[in-house]
Amino acid sequence: MNRALLIIDLQPDFCEGGALAVAGGNAVAAAIAKDVALRVASYSAIITTQDWHIEPGDHFSDQPDFVDSWPVHCVAGTNGAALHPLIAQLNVDAHFAKGRFTAAYSGFEARLLDTQADIADESGVLLAPWLRSRQIDTVDIVGLAADHCVRATALDAVAGGFTATVISTLTAAVNGENLPTVHEELRSAGVSVVSAS
């Protein structure tokens, strides 16, 4: 069994002080950095995903409904779209970007981001083939937000044949009241939901 850690959307715009802040985002970044330091040897790869919006259509709105439309956030190449500083310091094997020209929630919609030159490139390899090319069949999923992009990534992971675990204590939600329902949905789909060990 080869296991990867997927760090989902740990970006300044999703943390306190950002354009679309999730309460507890900075604490999650710190907890993930600490956890990686302890468990790095248990992973075949550590991967980040980032919202990387250029022209995502009606995903951005001046009057967002916070379900299908959102305030402007994580514009490609801006500080808000960068990795959180604590995550940027980690020894990461690959960075994947999603949502350049459309809404994108799942990390499995993301394409490999090699350099800043790839800012508008839609030809990079998708996450699932990248994992399979390295014989990775199991993923641990952490990051932001538990009730949106973490959820979507976990559901796509199991739908794509990966064994998936969400480490709930290394996530934070837009709406914490939704978490019991989200966790039940994930478990029903075959995702394991656990606390950090």
Q: Are 151 and 115 in contact (CB under 8 A)?
A: no
Q: Are 76 and 7 in contact (CB under 8 A)?
A: no
Q: Is 34 a catalytic residue?
A: no
Closest by CA position to 44, among listed 112, 123, 137, 110:
137
Out of 13, 140, 149, 156, which one is annotated catalytic? 149
Q: What angle do CA 36, 190, 180 make, to 5 degrees?
A: 75
Out of 9, 13, 118, 140, which one is annotated catalytic? 9
Phi and psi (nearest 5°) for 50? -140, 135
Catalogue the E-assigned strands of 18-98. Answer: 45-51, 94-98
Q: Is 149 a catalytic residue?
A: yes
Q: In whole angstroms, give the CA distance from residue 17 to residue 123.
A: 33
What does the CA dihedral 73, 85, 194, 125 come to, rounded to 10 degrees? 70
Out of 51, 98, 147, 156, which one is annotated catalytic? 98
Catalytic residues: 9, 98, 149
